Amino acid sequence: MKKKHTQVRVIYWIIIAIGSGALGIYMTKTQWNTAVLALWLVVIFLGAMAVEMLWFRSLGKKVAALTPLLRTDPDKYIAGIEDLLGDVRSLGVQQTRCINLAAACCEKGDYAKAVDYLTSLDPRRIPAVNQGAYWADLALARFHLGQNEQARAVIDGNADLFTRMKDSRGLGGLAAVLSVYYAKSKGDLELAWERYYAAREAWPDPSTQKELDQLETKLRG
């Protein structure tokens, strides 16, 4: 993917070089015009920004197209993410890569690897749009690994975020699962079962139901 990005950049700057040369020839044959030069510099700047924005938009669409594989074939999803994002050095892209790979590892049950991906990032630099997925998957992975105090610390340290997450269409089911884990880890089985049954009814999607199946076994055990 990085190779294609580089090719687009090269083509853009070739066009700019040709345009700059043509402008230079024009201005040597006419009166020097500072306003025209300033306008050309603005065009170069805006064009460079447009190239980057269009490329990132295209990249985002390709990542989104892989989403169905996250639940049905996480290994293929991981391969697709690595192919698209693995060689792109942008901080934002690498954050997206690690968060998405961690989600796939959770689907596979490789929770230690998920924690490795997530803890490789600086949470202070993660944009707000990715904060929910980042902290929710980190808490889930730690609960599955039996790291209950660390998982609760994630939730307690981001209480406002998890409160808002309860009504999220994308992350609400996971937030409900985490609320069951939280109660169970505190030893309040009555509350854990209450939240479990509420989650069963409120979140019928396969991903949440799969997590609740595992939770039921743990609650009964």
pTM exceeding the 0.85 threshold for the entire prediction: no
For residue range 159-212, what is the model confidence (pLDDT) as tens digits? Answer: 999 999 998 989 999 999 999 999 999 999 999 999 999 999 999 999 999 999
What is the 8-class DSSP label of residue 110? -
Nearest CA to 174 out of 219, 144, 149, 147 is that of 144
Give residue-wise pLDDT tens across range 41-84: 776 777 667 666 776 687 778 888 999 999 999 999 999 999 98
C-alpha 172/C-alpha 137 separation (Å) is 12
Count the alpha carbons within 13 Å of 62 in the hemisphere toward its beta carbon: 15
Name every residue whose Cβ is closer than 8 Å to that of residue 9 and which is 6 or more positions away in sequence: 51
Q: Do 103 and 133 contact (CB within 8 A), yes or no? A: yes
CA gap 166, 185 in Å, rounded: 19
